A and B are shown apart, each in its own frame.
Chain A
Amino acid sequence: MSGRVSDEEVIRRLEEFGKSIAMQVLKGMPPRMEIPVRTLSNTIWDEKRRILVLGPAKAKREFLDMKESRKFMQTLLMLSLILMARREGDFPTIRDLYYMGKHTIRYRDVHGRERTEETWNDQQESNSVIQDIEVATGLLREEMGIMHDAKGKIVGRIVIKSKGYEIDCSKLGSGAYAIPPNPDRLEIVRVEADYVLCIEKDAIFERLNEEEFWKRENCILITGKGQPDRATRRMVRRLWEEFGLPIYVLTDADPYGWYIYSVYRSGSISLSYESEKLACPGVRFIGLTTSDIRDYKIPKNFIIAATERDLKRAAEMLRYPWFKSEAWQRELKLFLRQKEKVEIEALSGHGFRFLSDVYIPEKIEKKKWIE
C-alpha cells in the first residue's frame, strides 16, 4: 500500500537522526542538528506538480548557542519520547507527548539563586518540535504513530477495513464514519463511487447524508468541518491517488471557503512539508463562486457585504501562484469589485432541495467547476 511506512522504518529513521547527534557528542564536537525552515519564505510553489513544497533552506540548531540550546534540548527530548512510543507500539496523542515530556529543570542562575524552568511551557512549544522532527526526518507524525483530535467524517459507497473489522460506509444510518488520525493504517477494501464530494460545512454534510444524496448520486461525502485536518486530507488524497476518483469541493462563496479548497488541492503554507503526502492537485472547485450570485439569481436577503478582512485576504490570494488560473483570477477580481459573499445555505432561497437536486449535479455534469 502506498505511503505506508513500516514501524521498523520509522524507528530506523528516528534513531538515525538521534545517533548522528550522539556521535558528534562522543567525538567531542559541539552538537548541531539541521532543521528545514518552516516559514512562508521557505515555501515554494511547485509548478509542475502543482503543490506547495518546502524550500531548501535549513537552519542549524546548535547546543552551544545560547539562543538555541533550549530548542535543541526540546527536540531531543521529543525525539526520545516518540522513539520510546514506537518501540513499545504505543500511540500517544500530541497532548500525551506534551505531558510525558513536561518536567521541571532545577538550576542555579548567575547569582547563585535557585531557579526552575519547565522543559516546555505550553503545548505549542512541544507541537513545534514535533513539526521540526517531521521535517528533519521526512516522517509525518501520523507515520510516527502520533494521534491528534481528528474531526473528519466520511459516508457513502466505500468499504473500509480497520483492525480487522470491515466498515461499510453505506450502512451507517444517520451517522457517518469518523476518519481516524492515521488513515494510512486503514485498508480501503472496496470503492463503488463515481466521485468524492468534500463539503466545508458539517451541517450541509449532515443534510445531504440525511437525504441519502450519496446513494442517489453514487458518491462519497467527506467533511473536514471547516479547515480540514491532516487525516481528512490524507483520506481524500488516497481516494484520488489510489482509486482515481474525481474530487469536488463545496464551500461558501468567500475567501475563507476558497482557501479550504486550496488546502485540499495544493497544501497549506504553514505545513508545506506534508504536501507531498497530503496535497491533491486534481481537486476541483464546484462552488460557491461570486459568479453564482448572478448565475443562480441568489435572492438579495442572502447576500452579505464582504468585510475589510475578506477583501484583504482575497487581494493576497490574487497574488498566490496557485490561484493564477484564469478562472480564479476572474472570480477573485469579481469578488473584489462586487464586495459580496454568500453561504451555501443561500441556495435554499430556491427551495431546500435546490442544492442536491439542481446545483451539485448541474455543476458536475456540465463541468462548471473551476481549478
Chain B
Amino acid sequence: MVLIDELLSKERFEGLSPAEFFYRNREIAGFSNPVRALYQTIRELVENSLDATELYGILPEIKVTVDVISPEKNIVKVRVEDNGVGIPSSEVPNVFGRVFYGSKYVIRQSRGLFGLGVKMAVLYAQMTTGSPVRVVTATPRSRRIHEFELMIDITKNRPRILKHNLIDNSKRWHGTIVELTLEGNWSGARRKVVEYIKRTALIAPYATITLKSPDVELHFKRLAYKVPEPPEIGRPHPRGVDIELLKSLIAKYSSGREDPPTLVDFLVENFEGVGRITAESFLKWAGYDPEMPIGSLTIEALDDLARKMREYDGWRRPRAHSLSPLGSELLSKGVQGILRPEFVASITRKPSSYGGHPFVVEVALAWGGEVPVSDHPLLLRFANKIPLLYDEGADVSRKVVDKIDWNTYKVKFPAPLAVIVHICSTKIPFKGVGKEAIADVPEVEREIEGAIRECARKLRRYLTQKEKELSLKLKYVTISKYVDEVARALSIITGDRQEVYRRRLEEMIRSYILMKEVRRGVRKSKR
C-alpha cells in the first residue's frame, strides 16, 4: 500500500480525485481484465461478508450468484448475500460510493485492509456497464430493510443515490446483499472462482457458502458451529511505526487536550506493551527528554524518533491478542471436509513477531484419500483467512516445502500430499503489490518450516504404523490365498476331508500373524 500512498499523493497535486486515480490504476487492485475483474469482485464481496459475520460472532451464511447477462458482450451480474450485521443506512452511500471514506486502519487482523476493494468493484462495474450498485441491508433488530441503488461521481468522489427504498422487516432479517453488473468473463474466471470458494470454505469451516452459476453449483455446509474469537483491537507496536503513523497518532492524541502532552505519556498511552519504565529507558537510549511536549518535535526529529523506535531492542514482544487464528482443531475440520484426505495433521504455532508485527502460523498436512497424487506437494496458502491463488512460485511457503526432504517423513513422490499454510498477522508481509505471495521474512520462514516439520513428524508416525499394518495384511493375504490349494492337495494325499485342512490352516494363519501383532502391541505399551 506504500506504493499506492506515494502515487496517490503525487496524483493529488495534478487534481485527480481518488476515484479517478483508482480507475486509472485498476490493475493494482486486480481489475486488469474481464477474467481477473470478475474474480476480484466476487472475492471482495465474499470477504466483506465474512468480516460482517464472523467478527461479530455470527455463523456466516453466504450465497454467491453469478448470472451471465450477455455472453457476447461479457456482461455478468454478481450477487452476494450474507447474514451479517448489516450497514447502518446512513453509512451505505459512503461505504459504497466514496473512495477513502472511513478507515479500517485499526490494528487488528481482518480480511480487507482499507475497505477499498468493494469501491473499486463498484467503480469498475459502473465504468464497464454503466450500471449502479444495488445494496439491500438491515442491521440486527432493525424494523426496516434499506434498498439502495447508487453510483460514484468520479470527478467529485461522491456517492450519487439513484434509489432508496424502505421495506418492512417483519421477519427481522439482518445482513447485506450487494449486486453488481459488470464486464466479466465467467468461463475464464470459473476455475479460479470455484477454487477460491472451495478454499474459503476450507479456512472458514464454520461458514455455509453456496455458489450458483450457469454451469457450476457449489454448496459447502458448515462443518463446525464455533466461530473463532474475534481479534481485539490493539495498539501499534513501537517496532512497527513509520513517520506517517506517528504523525496521525500524535494528531489524534493531542486534539482536545488542554496541556500539551509529553513524549513519555504519548508512548505509554499509544503503543502496545510500553510502560513508563520501558518508555523512559527507550527515550534515554534514544537521547530524548521524556518530558518534552510532543508538539515541539520537528519533521526531522519525528523521522529520527521513528527510526530509533524500530531499531530499539528493549521493547516487549508484541502480543497476539489482535490476531485470530483458526486453531488447529477447526483447521483440521476444514481440511477434512474439503480435501477429504485419509489423514490430517495440523498445528497452530505460538505467536511470534517480525519488525514489530505479531503473527501466527498455522499448518495442516493432508495425506491420501481424495488428495490428488502429484509429483510435488499440493500447496494451499492463506493469509488472514484469505486464500492466495496466484504467484505461488514466489511464496516463502513454496520455498520451504521444496526445501524439505520428504523422504525423511516417509513420503515418496508422486504422493497424495497437500500442505496448507495459514499466516495471520496485523501486517502480512506480502511480496509486491499483488498481495498474492508472502515474502521470505526470516522469522516467518522459520515458523512455517517449524510448523510443517511438526506436522510432517505426525504424518511419519501415521505412515510408519500404516506400513506395519499393511505388511501384516500383505502377509495375511499372500499366504491365505493358497489355503484352498494346499488343503485340496493334502486331502488328495491323505484321503481326509479338504475342509479339515482348510480350517486348520486358516486358524493357524490367523493366530500366527495376529500373535505377532499382539506381541508388538504389548512391547509398545510397556515403553
Question: Residues of A at under 8 Å CB distance from B?
Answer: 14-15, 18-19, 21-22, 25-26, 28, 30, 63-64, 66, 69-70, 72-73, 76-77, 79-80, 83-84, 105, 107-110, 117, 119
Instruction: Check if B415 is an interface residue, CB within 8 A of chain A.
Output: no
Report the bound CA distance from A157 to B201 in whole Å: 98
- Docked-complex contact A22 and B496, CB < 8 angstroms: yes
When C-beta atoms are compared, the residue in chain B nearest to A117 turns out to be: B481
- Docked-complex contact A64 and B493, CB < 8 angstroms: no
What chain B residues lie within 8 Å of A107 (beta carbons)? 477, 480-481
Report the bound CA distance from A66 to B473 in whole Å: 11
- Docked-complex contact A66 and B475, CB < 8 angstroms: yes
What chain A residues lie within 8 Å of B475 (beta carbons)? 66
Which residues in chain B, 442-496, are within 8 Å of chain A measured between CB atoms?
470, 473-475, 477-482, 484-486, 488-490, 492-494, 496
Instruction: Check if B501 is an interface residue, CB within 8 A of chain A.
Output: yes
Report the bound CA distance from A280 to B307 in whole Å: 104
- Docked-complex contact B490 and A76, CB < 8 angstroms: yes
Report the bound CA distance from A34 to B509 in whole Å: 20
- Docked-complex contact A110 and B504, CB < 8 angstroms: no
Q: List 16 A-B contacts (CB under 8 A).
A: A18-B493, A18-B494, A22-B493, A22-B496, A28-B508, A63-B482, A73-B489, A76-B486, A76-B489, A76-B490, A80-B490, A80-B492, A105-B484, A107-B480, A108-B477, A119-B485
Taking A70-B482, A77-B489 as known contacts, 5 extra A-B pairs with beta carbons closer than 8 A to each other, sorted by chain A number, are: A18-B490, A28-B508, A63-B479, A63-B482, A64-B512
Instruction: Check if B505 is an interface residue, CB within 8 A of chain A.
Output: yes
- Separation in Å of the B484 CB from the closest CB of chain A? 7
- Docked-complex contact A73 and B485, CB < 8 angstroms: yes
Query: Among A14, A21, A84, A110, which residue has its beta carbon within 8 angstroms of that of B490?
Result: A21
What chain B residues lie within 8 Å of A119 (beta carbons)? 485
- Separation in Å of the B293 CB from the closest CB of chain A? 77
Which residues in chain B, 339-374, are within 8 Å of chain A measured between CB atoms?
none
Report the bound CA distance from A167 to B508 in whole Å: 57
- Docked-complex contact A109 and B493, CB < 8 angstroms: no
Question: Residues of B at under 8 Å CB distance from A?
Answer: 470, 473-475, 477-482, 484-486, 488-490, 492-494, 496, 500-501, 504-505, 507-509, 512
- Docked-complex contact B485 and A77, CB < 8 angstroms: yes
- Docked-complex contact B489 and A80, CB < 8 angstroms: yes
Of B488, B494, B509, chain A has the most CB atoms within 10 Å of the CB of B494
Q: A15-B493, A19-B494, A80-B489 are in contact. Are A69 and B482 (CB under 8 A)?
A: yes
Of A14, A21, A76, A109, chain B has the most CB atoms within 10 Å of the CB of A76
What chain B residues lie within 8 Å of A26 (beta carbons)? 500-501, 504
What chain B residues lie within 8 Å of A22 (beta carbons)? 490, 493-494, 496, 501
What chain A residues lie within 8 Å of B479 (beta carbons)? 63-64, 66, 69
What chain A residues lie within 8 Å of B484 (beta carbons)? 105
What chain A residues lie within 8 Å of B512 (beta carbons)? 30, 64
What chain B residues lie within 8 Å of A83 (beta carbons)? 492-493
Query: Among A19, A28, A66, which residue has its beta carbon within 8 angstroms of that of B493?
Result: A19
- Docked-complex contact B508 and A25, CB < 8 angstroms: yes
What chain B residues lie within 8 Å of A30 (beta carbons)? 508, 512
- Docked-complex contact B504 and A28, CB < 8 angstroms: yes
Q: A15-B493, A64-B512, A66-B475 are in contact. Are A80 and B482 (CB under 8 A)?
A: no
Query: Among A14, A72, A84, which residue has its beta carbon within 8 angstroms of that of B486?
Result: A72
What chain A residues lie within 8 Å of B477 (beta carbons)? 107-110
Report the bound CA distance from A83 to B482 in whole Å: 20
Report the bound CA distance from A57 to B8 in whole Å: 91
Report the bound CA distance from A18 to B493 in whole Å: 6
What chain B residues lie within 8 Å of A80 (beta carbons)? 488-490, 492-493
Report the bound CA distance from A70 to B484 in whole Å: 12
Report the bound CA distance from A73 to B477 in whole Å: 14
Report the bound CA distance from A108 to B490 in whole Å: 24
When C-beta atoms are compared, the residue in chain B nearest to A69 turns out to be: B479
- Separation in Å of the A31 CB from the closest CB of chain B? 8
When C-beta atoms are compared, the residue in chain B nearest to A21 turns out to be: B490
- Separation in Å of the B505 CB from the closest CB of chain A? 6
Query: Among A21, A84, A105, which residue has its beta carbon within 8 angstroms of that of B485?
Result: A105
What chain A residues lie within 8 Å of B504 (beta carbons)? 25-26, 28
When C-beta atoms are compared, the residue in chain A nearest to B475 turns out to be: A66
Which are the 3 A-B pairs with shortest beta-carbon distances? A18-B493, A107-B481, A76-B489
Report the bound CA distance from A58 to B484 in whole Å: 27
Report the bound CA distance from A69 to B475 in whole Å: 10
What chain A residues lie within 8 Å of B501 (beta carbons)? 22, 25-26
Q: A25-B501, A66-B478 are in contact. Are A110 and B485 (CB under 8 A)?
A: no
Report the bound CA distance from A37 to B493 in whole Å: 24
Q: A66-B479, A80-B488, A119-B485 are in contact. Are A25 and B493 (CB under 8 A)?
A: no
What chain B residues lie within 8 Å of A15 (beta carbons)? 493-494
What chain A residues lie within 8 Å of B488 (beta carbons)? 80
When C-beta atoms are compared, the residue in chain B nearest to A105 turns out to be: B481
Report the bound CA distance from A76 to B488 in whole Å: 9
Q: A25-B501, A80-B489 are in contact. Are A64 and B508 (CB under 8 A)?
A: yes
- Docked-complex contact B493 and A72, CB < 8 angstroms: no
What chain B residues lie within 8 Å of A28 (beta carbons)? 504, 507-508
- Docked-complex contact A79 and B486, CB < 8 angstroms: no
When C-beta atoms are compared, the residue in chain A nearest to B490 turns out to be: A22
- Docked-complex contact B490 and A64, CB < 8 angstroms: no
- Docked-complex contact B474 and A110, CB < 8 angstroms: yes
Report the bound CA distance from A28 to B500 in whole Å: 12
Of B474, B478, B488, chain A has the most CB atoms within 10 Å of the CB of B478
When C-beta atoms are compared, the residue in chain B nearest to A73 turns out to be: B482
Report the bound CA distance from A18 to B480 in whole Å: 20
Report the bound CA distance from A69 to B496 in whole Å: 22
Query: Among B496, B500, B509, which residue has its beta carbon within 8 angstroms of that of A64?
Result: B509
What chain A residues lie within 8 Å of B509 (beta carbons)? 64
What chain B residues lie within 8 Å of A108 (beta carbons)? 477
Of A22, A83, A109, chain B has the most CB atoms within 10 Å of the CB of A22
Q: A79-B489, A83-B493, A110-B474 are in contact. Are A25 and B505 (CB under 8 A)?
A: yes
Report the bound CA distance from A58 to B236 in whole Å: 82
- Separation in Å of the A171 CB from the closest CB of chain B? 46
What chain B residues lie within 8 Å of A77 (beta carbons)? 485, 489
When C-beta atoms are compared, the residue in chain A nearest to B477 turns out to be: A110
